[in-house]
């Protein structure tokens, strides 16, 4: 995810769209681990921590040129993002939105990549 940052062009695809986009503003990447369990021994000392559903969360705006109307990817749909000189990463859309200006769409992506689900998100 470190290759996705402000000021770069990247390829995005979801549904029937495959577009070159530009990242105009700050990109936020987080690794939430709020859902964790601590395993303790009989004396109450911590033996280990189990992280449940660890994931990477990516939030960014992408400007794309389009004369056709583009709808934001629905929740649960896979969005592939290929950063410059990088390989595609498919993440799951969760709360992405789109807004428009003449001949242009700004996609606000909210994407998650659950470690256990890498590459397994539906594309339509």
Partner 1 sequence: MQEAFIAACLYRPPVVLGRQVRPFSPYHALALEAVNSPFAHDPVTGVTPDSLVVAIHTCSLSYADGLHVLLDTAAIQKWGASVGKWDFETTLKVFKRHIADSMVLPVFYHTGDEEDARAPVAWHLATSGMRFLNMTETEAWDCSIAKLVCYRACISEWNGSKSLKSDEEIKGRKILEEIAAREDAEKAKAT
**What is the binding site for partner 1 (CB under 8 A)?**
6-7, 9, 20-25, 61, 63-65, 69, 97-101, 104, 106
Q: Bridge-partner residues for 89, per DSSP? A: 81
Q: How far is the CB of 50 from partner 1 (least distance, A)?
A: 37
Q: How far is the CB of 80 from partner 1 (least distance, A)?
A: 18
Sequence-separated (6 or more) residues with CB below 8 Å from residue 71: 98
Nearer to partner 1, 45 or 102 (CB): 102
CA–CA dist 18, 25 (Å, integer)? 21
Nearer to partner 1, 55 or 81 (CB): 81
Q: Please state whether beta strands 55-65 and 104-114 pair in parallel, antiparallel, or not at all (unpaired).
A: antiparallel
């Amino acid at each position: 995810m470190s290759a996705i940052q402000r000021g770069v062009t990247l390829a995005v695809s979801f549904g029937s769209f495959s577009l070159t986009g530009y990242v105009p503003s700050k990109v936020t990447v987080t690794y939430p681990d709020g859902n964790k369990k601590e395993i303790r021994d009989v004396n109450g000392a911590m033996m280990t921590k189990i992280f449940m559903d660890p994931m990477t969360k990516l939030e960014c705006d992408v400007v794309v040129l389009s004369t056709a109307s583009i709808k934001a990817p629905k929740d649960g749909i896979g969005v592939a993002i290929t950063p410059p000189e990088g390989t595609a990463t498919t993440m799951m859309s969760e709360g992405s939105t789109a807004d428009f200006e003449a001949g242009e769409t700004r996609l606000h992506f909210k994407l998650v990549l659950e470690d256990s689900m890498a590459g397994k998100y539906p594309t339509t």
